[in-house]
Amino acid sequence: MPVISCRNVSKIFRRHAGPQLAREHLKALLTRRARRDNDFYALRDISFEVNEGESLAIIGGNGAGKTTLLSLIAGLSCPDRGSLSVNGRIAALLQLGSGFHPDLTGAENVVINASLLGFSRKRTRELFDSIVEFSGIRDFINEPLRTYSSGMVVRLAFSVAINVDPDILIIDEVLAVGDLAFQEKCHERIRALRRARKTFVCVSHAMPMLLQLCDHAIWLDHGELILSGNIQDVIDAYEGRSAPRPPGG
Amino acid sequence: MWKGDYVFVLRNLILKDFRIRYRNMSLGMFWSLLNPLVMMSVLTFVFVKIFRSPTPHFPVFLLCGLVPFNFFSTAWSSSTTSLADNAGLIKFVRIPRAIVPMSAVLAACPHLLIQLALLLGIATASGIPANIHWAWLPVVFGMELVFLCGLGLVFSAVNVYVRDTRYVVESANTVLFYLVPVFYSFSIIPQAYREVYQYNPIAALILAMREIVLENRAPSEVLLLKLFAVSVVTAAVGWVVFQKLEKRVYDHL
């Protein structure tokens, strides 16, 4: 059974042009203006599978639909067409410091984040020290998060996510904020995750890192799947034709 | 499906709300006492000294209205904005989203407990003895919580789609303050409206409070039944509506 199975998935966003006033809604309702004019395919007819122990890189230019795809895999939004099934416990790092509150201390944020990712109270207490240890910011753990640099925030967020022991780890570009030593530490943990036959899904523009950490890749462009296959082949094809169509073209 | 510890998440979210609210205030928890005390003093002055209200124990009578009303309006408005306020959580962390408005409702409880303690303290100090019927207080407030969770589920979800909702709620709270017998007695409401009033959970709660604290008796069965029925129906409707609206919440935040 594949860990992630994505079949003919489309995600449609409605363009919110102009103000969201009642009279606009009324006008649209009364004139029965063809809704399709306002529809925008963030993803169109995407199909792929990720099997146990495989790792997937998603590459493509800005606005290609990479983050939208991750949000679907993470179960944060629903596809409009097609079907998507994901088997296993997910930890997703989709945005720097999401779920963290600036006025709370690092320690308080760690506990909240751990509970959101599905830890029990007991497990959180057991793992608290190794989370803080891995993050390497023990000295500042009782300071409010607003005093942290973005590198420190990502250290904390990654430490929590990796210690959840997820079946599927999803990362959207955020690691680049950490310094080289910390990035290397993260990569080592991701390799360990992969040795344990867990799944890793990643969006990044750092091709050398993707080559190291992933074995498969899909290339998205303007919501469509251009190529899917072995990481080296996809990256070669992507870099060979890396002048994408102009936005909106 | 999210497999986690619901109670632990709920506890953490409530604690978070509590800490954020008080951490940057020099008076901290004292604010929970100050607000009803000031309101009580001002309204008591107006109604006893100016309008010459004959109601005995007017400050206690008033607090029996103010405390539940404050709880209701705080819980309602903070749960309404909860999803929009926590967009970071909703968009990037996978959690059962119904927890967010419910934790906003529950986060109003620490205030409530402080204010209830104040109310019962003032009651005792002004010569109203503690009585066995105080045991009904957790029951009626429990039903009110169920009602508020239902209300919070509906309004938080609708507020994501139509952001004006929070202003509707704010206005409704202002209107309700006068419509609900907060600073006047239920007995001066014309007979024709009384039946309807009992279906309003906030009016019912205030009525029950006064029966318990001032009249030293258990709340009437009809009242309890109405409160119970409205609470359960609201919670059920809230749950269904939330499940339906939740699917596109991501796209609208």
Q: Count the Cβ atoms, other than its own, within 10 Å of residue B240.
A: 13
Residue-range definition of the domain harbouring residue B160: 3-252
Give the pLDDT band (50/70/90) at residue B243: very high
Q: What is residue B247's predicted lDDT score, i.e. its pLDDT?
A: 86
CB contact under 8 A, A76 and B94: yes
Q: Which residues are within 8 A (CB) of A141 and not within 5 positions of it... i.e. 6 or more apart?
A: A105, A106, A107, A110, A132
Per-residue confidence (pLDDT) for residue B72, from 0 to 100? 96
Averaged pLDDT in 10-residue chunks for chain A of 249 residues: 89 71 70 64 91 91 90 90 89 82 91 88 91 91 91 89 86 82 89 91 90 91 91 89 48
Q: B75, B152 in Cβ contact below 8 A?
A: yes
Q: What whole-number distance in Å separates Cα of residue B13 and Cα of residue A175? A: 27
Q: Give per-residue pLDDT as tens, B177-197.
A: 999 999 888 888 888 888 888
Residues 199-228 of A with CB under 8 A from B: none
In the block, tokens 């709660």 appear at: B205
Q: Do A119 and B8 touch (CB under 8 A)?
A: yes
Q: In chain B, how many domains are there? A: 1
| Contact between A201 and A168 (Cβ < 8 Å) | yes
The CA-based diameter of chain B, rounded to the nearest angstrom, is 61
B250: nearest CA partner in chain A? A77
Q: Tell me whether residues B9 and A89 touch, CB distance under 8 A.
A: no
* B166 or A27, greater pLDDT: B166
pLDDT per residue as tens digits for the range B109-145: 988 999 999 999 999 998 888 889 999 999 999 999 9
**In a mutagenesis test of the A interface, which of B6, B92, B165 is the best target, namely the one with the most A β-carbons within 10 Å?**
B92
User: What pLDDT score does B234 carry?
Assistant: 96
Per-residue pLDDT reduced to its tens digit, B205-241: 999 999 999 998 999 999 999 999 999 999 999 999 9
Q: Is the pTM of this model over 0.95?
A: no
Query: Which residue from B88, B82, B40, B84 is spatially nearest to B60, judged by alpha carbons?
Result: B40
B161 in reach of chain A (CB within 8 A): no
As for the ipTM of the complex, it is 0.81
CA distance B238 to chain A (A): 21
Q: What is the pLDDT of residue A243?
A: 47
Percentage of the residues of chain B whose pLDDT score is greater than 90:
57
Give contacts of B 3-22 with A, CB under 8 A: 3-5, 8-9, 11-13, 16, 19-20
CA dist A103 and B150 (Å) reads 29
Task: Please report, for residues A94, A119, B81, the alpha-carbon distance to residue B4 in angstroms, rounded to integers and kept in the order given.
Answer: 19, 6, 25
Q: What is the mean pLDDT of chain B?
A: 90
